[in-house]
Amino acid sequence: MLLVTGGAGFIGSNFVLDWLAQSDEPIVNLDKLTYAGNLENLSSLDGDKRHVFVKGDIGDAALVARLLATHQPRAVINFAAESHVDRSIHGPEDFIQTNIVGTFHLLEAVRAYWNGLQDVAKAGFRFLHVSTDEVYGSLGRDAAAFTETHAYAPNSPYSASKAASDHLVRSYHHTYGLPVLTTNCSNNYGPYHFPEKLIPLMIVNALAGKPLPVYGDGQQIRDWLYVKDHCSAIREVLARGRLGEVYNVGGWNEKPNLDIVHTLCQLLDELRPKAGGGSYQSQITYVTDRPGHDRRYAIDASKIERELGWRPLETFETGIRKTVAWYLTHADWVANVQNGSYLEWTTKHYGQTSEAAV
């Protein structure tokens, strides 16, 4: 049995679906179901006894303790996090509460549970914390990519809160001996991605005939990782990662944001041509850059390849084509997640007439 937190979000739900497609080991899925948590992602598991969903907060120590005592998981995988930089700029408190305070309460409940396990179960237990490359800060264009020993230098309330959670996890290993593992991933993309992030937002806006807003000059560089490759990396780290270690997980795909937008437009021109002709690129607009926007992230994923033999299977070209195809065939999912609360937030954040930018 695994306990997965945040398993109704983008990466978490992909992990749950991927795990249960390959294993009969059950999952208890704890998710608060904030705006980005969506049970529709997991609708294919309705009636599947291997998946037990519990609505709740990782900060609810009593609830987490009950779940641990009842289900006796051999591992906890922590995806639960507030994760959108723009939202953290406008409302950092939720990020502090979930990513720092919530992680603390989760660690305390897990530590108590782990201390009560018998020798074999205690030795085999793992706590895997899923984090981000944004904790390392921003890179110059020609600087070497982030390794696991790169100094932390978070530049947004989101990345600062994730950095704090990483440090808490590390401290629980070194102080209490809790058997932890941490992964720091680059930008994920793929199915079930909430349409406030760059790739799904551009697809959704393009199809709706809306502007495709690009921050600043669009030359912010990110490393892109197909979400199913990320899931396979987490499985490898859980199975064979060295205790207390950090593993950077990247796609070896550095791309400027503007190139991503152009690629999406070209794929949509091919797969869903505009009724009136012309290219979706005509919808690209440039908007004022966000405060403190990091210029470049890049992951050096050599360690996980060297120690665990993991490399991503998808190139950016294959992964992005699969992603666009998924959104084209899941219009109902997109419509359902774009509910009143999401539209209310984007209106407040970006104004009455503009769309969310990334």
Task: Tell me which amino acid residue 118 is.
Answer: Q
In Å, what is the CA distance from 341 to each residue of 40, 88, 192? Answer: 17, 17, 18
Q: What is the pLDDT of residues 105-142, one digit of tens each?
A: 999 999 999 999 999 999 999 999 999 999 999 999 89
165 contacts 317 by C-beta, under 8 angstroms: no
154 contacts 160 by C-beta, under 8 angstroms: yes
Residues with active-site annotation? 133-134, 158
More confident residue, 108 or 36: 108
User: What is the arithmetic mean of pLDDT over 53-79?
Assistant: 97
User: Which pLDDT value is given to residue 340?
Assistant: 52
User: What is the arithmetic mean of pLDDT over 170-180?
Assistant: 98
Q: What is the pLDDT of residues 182-220, one digit of tens each?
A: 999 999 999 999 888 899 999 999 999 999 999 999 999
Q: What is the pLDDT of residues 248-288, one digit of tens each?
A: 999 999 999 999 999 999 999 999 999 989 999 999 999 98
Q: What is the pLDDT of residues 222-258, one digit of tens each?
A: 999 999 999 999 999 999 999 999 999 999 999 999 9
The fold for domain 2-198+223-250+296-314 equals Rossmann fold (3.40.50)
How many whole angstroms from its chain centre is CA 100?
A: 16
pTM: 0.92
More confident residue, 275 or 357: 275
Confidence of residue 344 (pLDDT cuts 50, 70, 90): low
For the chain, the domains span 2-198+223-250+296-314
Q: What is the pLDDT of residues 12-25, one digit of tens each?
A: 999 999 999 999 99
End-to-end CA distance of the chain: 37
More confident residue, 86 or 264: 264
Mean pLDDT of the chain: 92
In Å, what is the CA distance from 209 to each residue of 140, 166, 204, 273? Answer: 35, 41, 9, 12
Confidence of residue 341 (pLDDT cuts 50, 70, 90): low
Q: What is the 3-state secondary structure (H, E, C) of the chain?
A: CEEEECCCCHHHHHHHHHHHHHCCCCEEEEECCCCCCCHHHHHHHCCCCCEEEEECCCCCHHHHHHHHHHHCCCEEEECCCCCCHHHHHHCCHHHHHHHHHHHHHHHHHHHHHHHCCCHHHHHHCEEEEEEEHHHHCCCCCCCCCECCCCCCCCCCHHHHHHHHHHHHHHHHHHHHCCCEEEEEECEEECCCCCCCCHHHHHHHHHHCCCCEEEECCCCCEEEEEEHHHHHHHHHHHHHHCCCCCEEEECCCCEEEHHHHHHHHHHHHHHHCCCCCCCCHHHHEEEECCCCCCCCECCECCHHHHHHHCCCCCCCHHHHHHHHHHHHHCCHHHHHHHCCHHHHHHHHHHHCCCCCCCC
In Å, what is the CA distance from 180 to each residue of 245, 281, 331? Answer: 8, 45, 39
